[in-house]
């Protein structure tokens, strides 16, 4: 069984950690462009992207939707379905790392549009929100903050409290390709033909055995007939001799 989250809100158009705004078009582009087979956004802790840091799952898919009520009514939000590791599930059960912040590349690769490149989980929204805004005020602290980015022009969104509810999905086998279906059909036909040929072969062998046995019986019968013929001749000879004796 594969565990996946129900849709969770990852970010909303608006403020980021460095004073830039998350543009509505960015979120629209992300929803259109995101493809894990091209580049999958992995879940990390506190936007720490060092190679030796563990990862806690992947973002499976994303979509956008306007918020319909509350203080953020009318703003566009990015939602995602997550595929978590057991570690993240356990932390979530303990109400740890319940805030999320996405990392957006506004001009990703050859797409020339925004793309989701990472998702961070954290305990303290201030660590990815207010505090990081303060970090960017000073050159030295801003440099430390930038070290966490996969690209210097990337954007970290303000942290969102995220209630992650997990579901379990059965691992469904992939639908066979046309080639596989054709090969399977031929394979079934081959197996059926093999069975039929085997039945015919067994029938021929049985007939051959029956014929051999019949031939052997005929040979024995011929031998017995010859033996009886010899006895008959002897009897006739004896009868003739007996008749001659009676005449004397």
Mean pLDDT of 43-72: 86
Q: Among the options 5, 29, 58, 101, which is catalytic?
A: 101
Residues 45, 92: Cα–Cα separation, whole Å: 13
Residue with tokens 């197996």: 191
Return the top range by mean pLDDT from 37-46, 103-112, 181-190: 37-46
d(CA 220, CA 216): 6
Whether residue 187 is predicted with pLDDT greater than 60 in this model: the reply is yes
pLDDT exceeds 90 at position 61: yes
User: Which backbone phi and psi does 43 adopt, to 5 degrees?
Assistant: -90, 125
CA–CA separation, 192 and 174 (whole Å)? 26
What is the pLDDT confidence band of residue 153, given thresholds at 50, 70 and 90? low
Catalytic residue among 5, 29, 47, 58: 47
Token pair for residue 2? 């594969």
End-to-end distance of the chain based on CA atoms, in angstroms?
Answer: 114
- Told to judge if 47 belongs to the known catalytic residues of this protein, a careful annotator would answer yes
Active site residue 101: yes
For 124-144, give the DSSP string.
-HHHHTHHHHHHTTSHHHHHH
CA–CA dist 167, 178 (Å, integer): 32
pTM: 0.56
Q: Give whole-number Cα distances, 64 to 9, 11, 104, 220, 228, in Å.
A: 9, 10, 15, 94, 105
According to the model, what pLDDT value does residue 36 have?
Answer: 92
**With pLDDT > 70 as the criterion, what percentage of the chain qualifies?**
73
The mean pLDDT of the chain is 76
Tens of pLDDT, residue by residue over 161-175, are 555 666 665 555 566
pLDDT of residue 59: 93
Is pLDDT above 80 for 22? Answer: yes
pLDDT at 5 (0 to 100)? 79
Whole-angstrom Cα Rg for the chain: 44
Contact, 82 vs 9, CB < 8 A? no
Using the predicted structure, report yes or no on whether residue 133 has a pLDDT greater than 60: no
**86, 89, 81: which is closest to 10 by C-alpha?**
81
86: phi then psi, degrees, rounded to nearest 5: -60, -30
**SS3 of residue 208 by DSSP:** helix
- At residue 53, φ and ψ (nearest 5 deg) are -80, 140
Is the pLDDT score of 32 beyond 90? yes
Catalytic residue among 18, 87, 113, 146: 18
pLDDT for 65 equals 92
Is 201 annotated in the active site? no
The residue ranges of every structural domain in the chain are: 2-169, 176-248
- Condensed to tens digits (0 to 9), the pLDDT of residues 223-233 reads 887 877 777 77
pLDDT at residue 210 tops 70: yes
């Amino acid at each position: 069984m594969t565990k996946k989250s129900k849709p969770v809100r990852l970010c909303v158009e608006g403020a980021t950690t460095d004073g830039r705004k998350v543009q509505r078009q960015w979120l629209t582009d992300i929803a259109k462009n995101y493809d894990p087979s091209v580049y999958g956004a992995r879940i990390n802790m506190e936007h720490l992207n060092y190679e030796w840091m563990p990862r806690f799952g992947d973002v499976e898919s994303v979509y956008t939707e306007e918020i319909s009520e509350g203080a953020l009514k009318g703003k566009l939000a990015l939602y995602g379905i997550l595929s978590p590791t057991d570690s993240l599930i356990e932390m979530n059960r303990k109400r740890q790392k319940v805030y999320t912040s996405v990392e957006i590349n506004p001009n990703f690769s050859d797409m020339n549009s925004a793309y989701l490149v990472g998702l961070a989980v954290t305990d303290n929204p201030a660590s990815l929100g207010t505090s990081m805004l303060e970090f960017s005020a000073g050159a030295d602290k801003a440099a430390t903050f930038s070290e966490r980015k996969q690209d210097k022009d990337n954007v970290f969104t303000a942290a969102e409290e995220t209630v992650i509810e997990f579901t379990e999905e059965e691992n469904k086998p992939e639908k066979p390709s046309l080639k596989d279906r054709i090969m399977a059909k031929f394979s079934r036909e081959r197996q059926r033909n093999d069975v039929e040929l085997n039945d015919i072969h067994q029938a021929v062998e049985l007939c051959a055995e029956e014929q051999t046995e019949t031939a052997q019986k005929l040979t024995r019968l011929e031998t017995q007939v010859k033996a009886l013929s010899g006895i008959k001749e002897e009897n006739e000879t004896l009868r003739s001799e007996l008749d001659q004796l009676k005449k004397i």
